[in-house]
Amino acid sequence: MIDIAGILIDNILYVLLITLGGALISLSVHFVPVGGAPAAMAQATGIGTGTVQLAAGAGLTGLVAAGAVMQVSNSLPLVLAAGAVGAMIMMSVTMIVGTWVYVYGVGCPPASAKVKYDPITKDRQDLYVSQGTEGHGLPTVSYVSGVLGGLFGGLGGSLVYHSLITAGMGPDVVMSNLIGLASVFAVGIFFVNAVIPSYNIGGTIEGFHDPKFKKWPKAVFSSLIATFMCALVAVLAIGGL
């Protein structure tokens, strides 16, 4: 058996950082324009897949980027920056290719059905929304929102990963075991925090201009509690190595 109280007291800072990372991931999902199955048929604005798949894609890319940087440096700002940039690139690439498909493949202009004017470009939206759809494609505001989602998701994911690795670092730790365990815990925490906000928004959202975005405090509160529990068990398991 391991010394539970001792490990917790030593690592309480990391538990809090992991919890913060989880809340950031939860917030990030609200920025990502997810359209789900309707968007896949160009009948709703956003990327045509589910929240979890997108968040997982962006988060795992961030995790890989953060992990690669951690091979050469342990500096927290550098790891966070790498994770954030990795996730932002992943989101941007997904969205630009999606836009090509919608514009050149499906043949519909990117348009939002939730606002009359794009808050960023001030372009008129409602004229371009096809009848019977909830918008289609990725208008500028959704694209910018998605990149912001990548930023927060990547920050959160790499914060969780960095905290787990640092919490488990010890004189007699086998590095491959620690990296494996930290990655698995980070992925688990990421999935939990990707699903909670997706229940909050009911599966689809256009970005920060969507009325559903205002519900984010509920999901972030839920994620804080859920991640705190996950962080406790993760740090106990990792600290006991």
Partner 1 sequence: MSAGGPGGEAHGGVAPGKMIVFGLLGGLICIYAAHFLAMVNPVFSFIGALGAVCAIVWGADAVRRVCSYGLGTGVPSIGMIALGMGVIASLFGLAVGGLAGPIVAVIAAAIIGLVIGILANKVLGMNIPIMEKTMVEIGVAGALTIVGLSTTMAGTFMFAEVLELVVAPGYIAVIFIAGGMGILHPFNACLGPDEEQDRTLAVAFEKGGIAMVIAGIVSMVISTAAAIPSIVIGLLIWYISFAKFYELTKRDAYKVLGTGLLPTEEELQ
Residue ranges that bind partner 1, judged by CB under 8 A:
1-2, 4, 36-37, 50-53, 56, 174, 176-177, 179-181, 184-185, 187-192, 194-196, 198-203, 218-219, 221-222, 225-226, 229-230, 233-234, 236-237, 240-241
| Closest distance to partner 1 from the beta carbon of 172 (Å) | 13
State which residue, 144 or 164, has the beta carbon closest to partner 1.
Answer: 164
Rg of the chain taking only CA atoms, in angstroms: 19
CB-CB contact of 141 with 119 (8 Å): yes
124 DSSP assignment: B
| Residues in CB range of 181: below 8 A, 6 or more apart | 164, 168, 237, 238, 241
**For residues 69 and 189, which CB has a smaller minimum distance to partner 1 in the complex?**
189
Helix, coil or strand: residue 137: coil
Neighbouring CB atoms inside 10 A of 214's CB total 10
Q: How far is the CB of 84 from partner 1 (least distance, A)?
A: 22
CA distance 225 to 116: 37
> Of the two residues 125 and 216, which places its CB atom closer to partner 1 in the complex?
216
Q: Tell the smallest beta-carbon distance from residue 42 to partner 1 (Å).
A: 17
> For the packed helices 140-168 and 76-100, what is the interaxial angle rounded to 10 degrees?
150
CB of 60 to partner 1, least distance (A): 10
Nearer to partner 1, 127 or 174 (CB): 174
